[in-house]
Amino acid sequence: MTEDGMNRTALIGASIRVALICAGVVLALAPLVKAADIAVLTNGFTIQHDHHVVMGSTTRLFLSTDDSSFTDVATDEIVGFEKELVLPTSPKPTASPQGTQPSVRTHSAADVNQVVNSASAAYHLDPDLVNSVIHAESGFNSRAVSPKGAQGLMQLMPSTATALGVNDAFDPKANVTGGSQYLRELLERYNFDLVKALAAYNAGPQRVEQYNGVPPFHETRAYVARIVHDYNKKKIAQERAAAKAQKQNKLQKTSTASAMPARGNAGKPKRVAASGAKAAAKAAVVNSPR
């Protein structure tokens, strides 16, 4: 074999060895790589999840393989789904009072619901309103970050979070508490005009005052309309449920009275007590300032 032939043989052998090494690395990493599902929303946000189930007008995004945590998103607000290859990362160890490494905490729908109820009670807001804002802002993704830098469930800008005393905008409790406080302040600022308060939450109070109302921005107007529609839909559903329950209760009382044996002319039946419809209607209104 000539010297040139030996050199070519050596180069081919080296190339094969490099290819085998690369293949070995890929095969070693293969069990670690997983394909995460990404839901792309109409508002530009994305929600990473394990799997999803379409339930008519609602799509349930499961955040874990065991279905223990999930978030529901309107199906028509999802543009599509994408796959993203990710390598699992281990959380950085942090010191704890007991000296043990804390586990990574996932926030289920029940956790978020408890946080919303607590913050709403603290700032005298309707929880349904706060949930509608969260739905429009982040799709209930506590790790959401907007193109402009807003963070967390209620999408607090870093400067706003600092002013509200929120140290970690990705912590659901801190984020929702700060966002609820800010929303309450805006409601009081605009004499409880919900439309103006929502417009200011989205575009800033200076814009609302500049245009003496909702700014002529498509994003802001669509944002306000989306929240008002979602909030009203909840209230209408609650009113219908209350009316249905009241009707069923009345029919049950009538049926019970008809089934009772007659006792001659013992007197006319007593009048049915007035219903609590007014109380139910009041409960659907955002609490006024105290």
Just list the catalytic residues: 137
**For residue 205, which of 218, 214, 217 has the smallest C-alpha distance?**
214
* Element (DSSP H or E) covering residue 267: none
Residue 270: C-alpha distances to residues 32, 177, 277 (Å): 73, 49, 20
User: DSSP for 13-28?
Assistant: HHHHHHHHHHHHHHHH
Cα-based distances in Å from 12 to 5, 6, 15, 23: 11, 10, 5, 16
- Find, among 137, 138, 155, the residue nearest to 47 by Cα: 138
Strands annotated E in the chain: 34-41, 46-49, 51-55, 58-62, 70-74, 78-86
Distance CA 112, CA 179 (A): 13
Tokens for 22?
């690369």
Give, to the nearest 10 degrees, the angle between helix 218-259 and helix 127-138. 140
Non-local (6+) Cβ contacts of 51 within 8 A are 37, 62, 65
